[in-house]
Amino acid sequence: MKKIEAIVRKTKFEEVRAALHDADIDFLSWWEVKGQGTARQGLIFRGIAYDVNSIARICISFVVRDINLEKSINAILESAYTGESGDGRIFVSDIAQSIRIRTKDRGDESLYNK
């Protein structure tokens, strides 16, 4: 089992969520995050300096079986891509164990995806 965390543009979130749904990934969590990338810029508007280095993004997190890893990653890559700096990141980590509380299923059986 793998945990996927993806940080994507807010404007691409609905496309990413739809692509994950098409890849049979329906159980996920997301929240708004802010971060700072390598680009450094400032904005002066009417004599007031604004810091635009903080970029609003959405962080998506879910756990998949190993057989669903590549199709999940590809769904995010294809739907979140703009080709510009700041498209985001995908992080994949190992999950040692998963337990569904209601049924007490463990391992792959505790996950919803096929």
Domains and CATH numbers, the chain: 2-110 (3.30.70.120)
Cα–Cα distance measured from residue 59 to residue 86, given in angstroms and rounded to the nearest whole number: 13
Digit-by-digit pLDDT tens for the chain (114 residues) are 999 999 999 999 999 999 999 999 989 999 999 877 666 556 666 776 666 566 779 999 999 999 999 999 999 999 999 998 888 999 999 999 999 999 999 998 898 765
- Report residue 7: phi and psi, to 5°: -110, 120
Q: Do 13 and 30 touch, CB atoms closer than 8 A?
A: yes
In this prediction, residue 67 carries a pLDDT of: 93
- What the block records as the tokens of 68 is 């669903």
Share of the chain above pLDDT 70, in %: 82
Is residue 72 within 8 Å of 23, Cβ to Cβ? yes
- Prediction pTM value: 0.82
**Residue in this structure with the two tokens 């543009």, named with its chain if needed:** 9
8-37 in b/e form (b: 16+ CB < 10 A) is: bbeebbebbbebbeebebeebeeeeeeeee
State the Cα–Cα distance between residues 35 and 54, nearest whole angstrom.
Answer: 5
Alpha-helical regions (H) of the chain: 13-22, 69-80
